[in-house]
Amino acid sequence: MNEAYRRWAWVAVLVVGLVLYLAVLRTMVDTRNPNFVPTTILLGATVCRRRS
């Protein structure tokens, strides 16, 4: 079971990352605050991080 969980764990990371990205994007657009741009970049780098 552990192998199956690890095989599909990327889906959970992708879904959580997408939800967080949309929340930050909506906040950035609604507040018109450019200070959220680094947060978006950091979030994208975290979600797309490859395991060595």
Q: What is the pLDDT of residue 32?
A: 93
Q: How far apart are the C-alpha atoms of 40 and 52, rounded to whole Å? A: 23
Q: Which of 21, 16, 15 is nearest to 40 (CA)?
A: 21
CA distance 15 to 10: 9
pLDDT at residue 31, as a whole number: 94
For the chain, the maximum distance between any two Cα atoms, rounded to a whole number of angstroms, is 46
| Burial class of residue 17 in the structure, from the number of CB atoms within 10 Å of its CB (0-12 exposed, 13-18 middle, 19+ buried) | middle
What's the pLDDT score for residue 38? 92
Per-residue pLDDT tens for 5-41? 788 888 888 888 889 988 998 999 999 999 999 988 8
